[in-house]
Amino acid sequence: MTIGRKRGPAAGSHLVELAAKLRIAFALVTRAQRQDVPGKLTAVQLSALYKVDLFGPVRLGDLAAREQVAAPTMSRVVASLEDARLVKRRTDPTSARSFLISITAKGRRQIDAVRRDRTDVMTCRLTALGFEHQRALAAALPALEALAESAIPGVAQREVERTRRARGLA
């Protein structure tokens, strides 16, 4: 679902301010997480690998569209992931001129390690907060999950399940 940029009549100034504060908080936490958990992959490679894990097997053009980059750019990213044996290509059975990209066991282990590391960093950040802030975040979680679900349907719950698996909790 694509949401337009125009605010409807129900979007009062309080919602605009809430949206701005949430956007800033999410962006800063995400940026800090990327900096605190350096990995072997670039942010672009990791994002593509996540998408292949979530939506694969996937065609190169579809992956490029999901990542909002040109096909030649995504082709280079996929080639680097393939060189690292994190993804593999196989001919698309519906079109011999196309191929499908899927994640390998090594690619899945790489993503699981990133999930574990980022969860550990978030756990440390939460530990540093006071109990009241921890409780407030826990109470806000259903609303945040609903917000995530409205942005990308079906992905939030799958990410929770994959994170549990990565931590050995599934």
Complete domains list, the chain, with CATH: 43-104 (1.10.10.10)
Per-residue b/e over 100-113, b at no fewer than 16 CB within 10 Å?
A: bbebbeebbebbbe
- Inter-axis angle of helices 60-67 and 43-55, nearest 10: 120
Q: What are the pLDDT digits (tens) for 95-126?
A: 888 899 999 999 999 998 988 888 899 999 99
Distance CA 75, CA 91 (A): 15
Two tokens, residue 147: 């917000």
Read off the pTM. Answer: 0.77
Residue-wise pLDDT tens digits, 150-164: 887 877 777 777 777
Q: Are 43 and 34 a contacting pair, CB within 8 Å?
A: yes
Question: Could you tell me if 77 and 44 are in contact, meaning their C-beta atoms sit under 8 angstroms apart?
Answer: yes
